[in-house]
Amino acid sequence: MNAQTRQLSRRGFLGGSLLFVAGAVVGCNTDPTGDSSGAKTTLNVWSHAYGETGTQQALTRYAAAFTKAHPDIAVKVTWVPGDYTSKLNATLLTDSAPDVFEIGDFSAAMAHRGQIAALDELYGTAKADFNPGDLDIVTVDGKLYGVKILDDVMMLYYRKSALAKAGITPPTTFDALVAAAKELTSKRGKGLFVGNDGIGDMPTLAVFSNGGDLVTDGKVAYASPKAVEAVVGLKRLHDDRSLLLDFTTDWWDPSAFVQDVVPMQWCGLWAMPAIKTALGDDFGILPWPAFRPGGKPTVRVGGWTSCVNAKGKHVDAAKTFVRWLWVEQTDLQKDWSESYGFHIPPRRSVAAAADKLAQGTAKETVELAAKHGSHNPNTWSPEVSTPFAAAAAKIAAGKGDPAQLLTDAAKQAQAAMDKQLS
């Protein structure tokens, strides 16, 4: 599943009053936070509607602390439910565009279009403390165009008791996963949940788990023989009818797993506190298994990045806010990453101080991310990823020649990428 789809689903359709900007529903808006009576500038800071309890209040609290430290700059937090990416992209074309906004799975296309400002000067000496992968993902033509605010890790959860009762060893190959999902499927329920569409992140995971790539040196690579072979394998799960489809919530929410609807689910680190509360120690985690013995297990590492509107009216003030919160305030970064669901802080010193991530299954997840983490490339824009997802869905449903479908999708995506990079 691409990041744009994940933004729509995981963070989810929260309630709240709505604003109308440029004729479109935007989000729940707050007045400037803290004592802003002396402010000369008011920043509009956009956030998608995080699903974890307390996140909106935390961001509002952070904004108030910033204004206390910078009395001349007020901050208005706009909380955007629903399809955040579509609303953001539409609003960036208007005079109502936010000064600061977050994006999931950073897109180099926004830098090429001149929509986001280079932020190299914000890092200072703290740059060496950031995870190198989080710097790489926001680097375009040698410049840094964002500051990563959290790393989201996605992996496979399984119920220990359910697998033990069925005599199933936690799967370490795709063949074993297919067999386990089939064995765990009964009249009572399905064996595996990867998303309501039965596709989810599986196509990209399949490619990575067979040693393939999505994009290599500016060239779309998901029509390679390794990629075709792995994506074709997904059809087996559909043929076996072992996938849960059309649940009341999607893969980002652990409800199907904790309510014993499925014994295995693809989900994220953010859900671990809720899973722990519901199941105690009756769960384990796995990377997406290697496609074949000796292959490449993988966990998906995504997350959110704070960016500054390069065409905004308050670029300097916006940079001051981003630097203060996401570079300097390590205590708030720690709070953000472990108090409202679990996430890995992008700064290594903050991650090392995150006590809740240093024990049990959370620690195991951090270790899996370090060992098997796969990032979608920053050229993985909707124009590049959507043809791939559409082709994979057809392949899983047994419609069309797989190699041809992926070749056609790659040609379409390459044209979009060439335009993006030109």
Structure confidence at residue 381 (pLDDT) = 87
Burial of 331 (0-12, 13-18, 19+ CB in 10 A): exposed
Burial of 3 (0-12, 13-18, 19+ CB in 10 A): buried
Label residues 28-65 b or e (16+ Cβ within 10 Å = b). Answer: bbbebbbebeebebbbbbbbbbbbbeebbebbbbbbbb
For residues 363 and 382, membership in a common domain is answered with: no
**DSSP H/E element including 25:** strand 24-25
Q: Which are the contacts of 150, defined by CB distance < 8 A and separation ≥ 6?
A: 303, 304, 336, 337, 343, 344, 345, 346
Residue 279 has pLDDT above 60, yes or no: yes
Token match 């824009």: residue?
A: 381
Phi and psi at residue 283, to the nearest 5°: -155, 155
Catalogue the E-assigned strands of 290-339.
299-308
Work out the end-to-end distance of the chain between its first and last CA atoms, rounded to an integer number of angstroms. 26
β-partners of residue 344 are: 151
Structure confidence at residue 33 (pLDDT) = 56
CA atoms within 13 A on the CB side of 26: 23
| Helices 84-91 & 3-10 angle (0-180, nearest 10) | 110
For residues 286 and 334, membership in a common domain is answered with: no
CA-to-CA separations, 187 to 132, 164, 182, in angstroms, rounded: 47, 19, 12
Domain range spanning residue 16?
3-152+302-374
- Give the mean model confidence (pLDDT) for residues 129-147: 96
CA-to-CA separations, 267 to 2, 193, 261, 382, 420, in angstroms, rounded: 14, 9, 14, 22, 31
Question: Tens digits of per-residue pLDDT, 48-90?
Answer: 998 888 999 999 999 999 999 999 999 999 999 989 999 999 9
For residues 296 and 254, membership in a common domain is answered with: yes
DSSP 183-195: HT-BTTB-SBBS-
For residues 217 and 71, membership in a common domain is answered with: no
For residues 69 and 140, membership in a common domain is answered with: yes
For residues 48 and 193, membership in a common domain is answered with: no
Q: Are 417 and 382 in contact (CB under 8 A)?
A: no
DSSP strand pairing (24-25 vs 20-21): antiparallel
* Alpha-carbon gap, residue 349 to 44, rounded angstroms: 30
Q: Are 356 and 350 in contact (CB under 8 A)?
A: no
Question: Tens digits of per-residue pLDDT, 378-395?
Answer: 999 889 999 999 999 999
β-partners of residue 45 are: 77, 100
* Alpha-carbon gap, residue 274 to 384, rounded angstroms: 34
Residue 15 has pLDDT above 50, yes or no: no
For residues 212 and 228, membership in a common domain is answered with: yes
Structure confidence at residue 30 (pLDDT) = 58
For residues 61 and 10, membership in a common domain is answered with: yes
Mean pLDDT of the chain: 90
Q: Comparing 37 with 288, which gets the higher pLDDT? A: 288
The rounded percent of the chain whose pLDDT value lies above 90 is 84
Tally of domains in the chain: 2
Residue 294 has pLDDT above 70, yes or no: yes
Closest to 63 in 3D by CA, of 317, 289, 276, 254 = 317
Single-letter amino acid code for the residue at 304:
W
For residues 360 and 343, membership in a common domain is answered with: yes
Q: Are 189 and 261 in contact (CB under 8 A)?
A: yes
CATH number at residue 161: 3.40.190.10
For residues 22 and 88, membership in a common domain is answered with: yes
CA-to-CA separations, 82 to 28, 88, 246, in angstroms, rounded: 11, 11, 19
pLDDT tier, 35 (very low <50, low <70, confident <90, very high otherwise) = low
Residue 24 has pLDDT above 50, yes or no: no
DSSP strand pairing (28-29 vs 24-25): unpaired
For residues 313 and 398, membership in a common domain is answered with: no
* Alpha-carbon gap, residue 257 to 276, rounded angstroms: 11
* Alpha-carbon gap, residue 179 to 236, rounded angstroms: 10
For residues 102 and 223, membership in a common domain is answered with: no
Token match 């991650």: residue?
A: 351
